[in-house]
Amino acid sequence: MSDWLSKINPRIGNYLAGFADGEGSFNVSLRQRDDHNLGWQIVLCFNVSQKESYILSQYKKILGCGKLIKRNSDGLYMYSVTNNLSIQEKVIPFFEKFSFLSQTKKKNFQIFCQTAYLVFSKQYFTENGLNKILELREKLNEGGGRKRKYIMSDVINSLKENPQRLYAKPRIFRKENSRMI
């Protein structure tokens, strides 16, 4: 167990896990990106929203990562972590130690962890790996409340539309962007 985890007061850790059990969310978003092999970036996110900022500031303090912002649209505060290293080294270990009670959140966390593993091991660079992530994403947060900008068929159709995309190199490796010194 990481040293930082062992220093967390169990009462606080369990409280934050319980709070996230009711108010938190694990998400996997897609962004179209020309500089990615298959044209898609996978964004992992843990977030919690609330009217008051104090509890959310405790996540930032305990985990040592993430952002706490006040949304202009509804005045709610939102704590979110989207940095892959922070998710891998802080968020996942925290919730493995301080687990959820609800079966739904346990299931979503498990799916999130499986997806994160595929992202951390860079399997989304292949069409097969991207498809595995998409399949897991479809199982995440099932129900009527989720909204997605891109659905699975959008990604699959984009790969069919441009088979050359499979051979594209990220922008930083393309010849036209390299300068001779």
Residue count of the chain, please give it. 181
Mean pLDDT, rounded, for 170-180: 44
Say yes or no to pLDDT of 53 above 90: yes
Q: Per-residue pLDDT averaged across 16-45, rounded? A: 84
Non-local CB neighbours of 176 within 8 Å, separated by 6+ positions: none
Q: What gap in Å lies between CA 122 and CA 38, rounded to an integer?
A: 12
pLDDT digits (tens, 9 = 90+) for 70-107: 999 999 999 999 999 999 999 999 999 999 999 999 99
- Residue with more model confidence, 85 or 141: 85
The amino acid at 91: V
Cα 118–124–129 angle (5° rounding)?
A: 75
User: pTM, whole model, 2 decimals?
Assistant: 0.81
Residue 38 tokens read as 């298959």
Is the per-residue pLDDT at 176 higher than 80? no
Residue 168 is classified by DSSP as: P
How does pLDDT run across 110-127, given as a tens digit for each residue?
A: 999 999 999 999 877 777
Write down the mean pLDDT value for the chain: 83
Residues 6 or more apart whose CB falls under 8 angstroms from that of 62 comprise 8, 12, 13, 16, 94
3-class SS of residue 128: helix
For residue 41, give the nearest of 155, 161, 173 by alpha carbon.
Answer: 155
Which domains are present in the chain? 3-170 (3.10.28.10)
- Pinpoint the alpha helices (H) of the chain: 3-6, 10-23, 54-63, 84-86, 92-97, 103-120, 127-139, 152-161
